[in-house]
Amino acid sequence: MSNKNEVTVPVNTPSRAYDVHVGRGILDSIGKITRASAGGSRACVITETNVRPLYGARVESSLAAAGYEVSTLTFPAGEQNKRLSTLEGLLEGLAEAALTRDDVVIALGGGVTGDMAGLAAAMYLRGIQVVQAPTSLLAMVDSSVGGKVAVDLAHGKNLCGFFWQPSAVVADVECLHTISPELYTDSIGEVVKHAVLADPQMLADLTDHPMNGAGYPDELVTRIVAKNIQIKRDVVNADEKERGLRQTLNLGHTIGHGIEAASDFALGHGSCVAAGLCCMARAACAKGWCKPGTRDAIVAAMAAQGLPTDTALAHDVIFDYMTHDKKRHGDSMNIVVPDEIGRVSVRKVTLAELRELVDLGCGCAAGNEPIPEGEAR
């Protein structure tokens, strides 16, 4: 803990050790943090069109004050631009800025930016350092930590990428004040997922006091973000390349990614994880893998945040996208099942069994009646 407004979470993976800095107003310290963690003489900020007007000049100024020669690359905002064609432009921009292997990329933005900038850093000159500066709640609690960087392909989300750990993460919770209430609420889906995974008390607190409720203080947001990072840190430290334990972080994602792709990414990632986790909980309960109380606690926590707890999308379409998931192994798939709050397991199921889970869990939040897409219960 460096001051009353900041929490530092150390991460120690086999490939790189680094600190995650969480707090209020710490974006102004990004130059100092980058200098201490990454060094180099040139820093290239990679950001997108919505974020640059908000924080670009502030980050550039901090980096320049720390002695960096600063350049900035900006790409169009939106998941639809998380493609190889956008990545090519960023790589050409890094080359034009004459960055060397000693220099650093700053990923300033949400999850899409973190993925794009991280992947560009991983590929340029066969790998240069990157500092993640997440500006969305989803990026703070999930994608900025752990080193997963990727772009989408036509057949699915994040199918082309690397594991490339950052040199530091700077998560300024004041940035959350400038994102829309809808995006903020969407991001809470991953927060609830982490609570289901490892913290029953946090799940109960979120159910009783929704994170998007009025008057939720920055100090409490800082502590919740730091706790989420600690949960993910413990998993990533033990299994950096997702060979075993790290698969548990995919809780809610197998069905969730199917919903996300089937909706043509019209729904936010956190909302899709929320619906996917609730669907998996219902299916697991129907199979006898968890008790009704576990299912009900998960659905209640998601609903308390105003997140969707089901989907009305066609099961055939969801399943088709699910079969393109990275977790598929031939004719089987690894799924993450909530055994109880705070404990999950990884199960290998056949594709036929996976389809059964979709039928058991989706479109049946109230008895067997489908609900309108995006509606929370």
Catalytic residue among 190, 212, 227, 260: 190
126 catalytically annotated: yes
Measured CA to CA in angstroms, residue 240 lies from 15, 78, 353 at distances of: 8, 28, 29
Catalytic residue among 250, 282, 295, 327: 250
Catalytic residue among 157, 193, 246, 282: 246
269 catalytically annotated: yes
Catalytic residue among 82, 148, 157, 193: 148
Catalytic residue among 126, 177, 243, 329: 126
Neighbour-count burial of 126, counting CB atoms closer than 10 A to its CB (0-12 exposed, 13-18 middle, 19+ buried): exposed
326 catalytically annotated: no
Query: Is 106 in contact with 72 (CB distance < 8 Å)?
Result: no
Where would I find the H helices in the chain? 30-37, 57-65, 84-96, 111-123, 137-138, 181-198, 200-208, 218-238, 253-262, 269-286, 292-304, 315-322, 351-361
Q: What is the DSSP string of 342-360?
A: TEEEEEEEEHHHHHHHHHH
Catalytic residue among 242, 282, 295, 327: 242
Q: Give dist(CA 4, CA 11) in Å, integer.
A: 21
Catalytic residue among 232, 233, 295, 327: 232
253 catalytically annotated: yes
Catalytic residue among 82, 193, 269, 327: 269
329 catalytically annotated: no
242 catalytically annotated: yes
Length of the chain: 377
Buried b (16+ CB within 10 A) or exposed e, 189-224: bbbbbbbbbbbeebbebbbeebbbeeeeeeeebbeb
Q: Give dist(CA 272, CA 252) in Å, integer.
A: 8
DSSP assigned state of 56:
I
348 catalytically annotated: no
User: What tokens does 10 get?
Assistant: 């150390």
324 catalytically annotated: no
Catalytic residue among 21, 157, 194, 253: 253
Catalytic residue among 52, 82, 257, 282: 257
148 catalytically annotated: yes
**Enzyme catalytic residues:** 126, 148, 190, 232, 242, 246, 250, 253, 257, 269
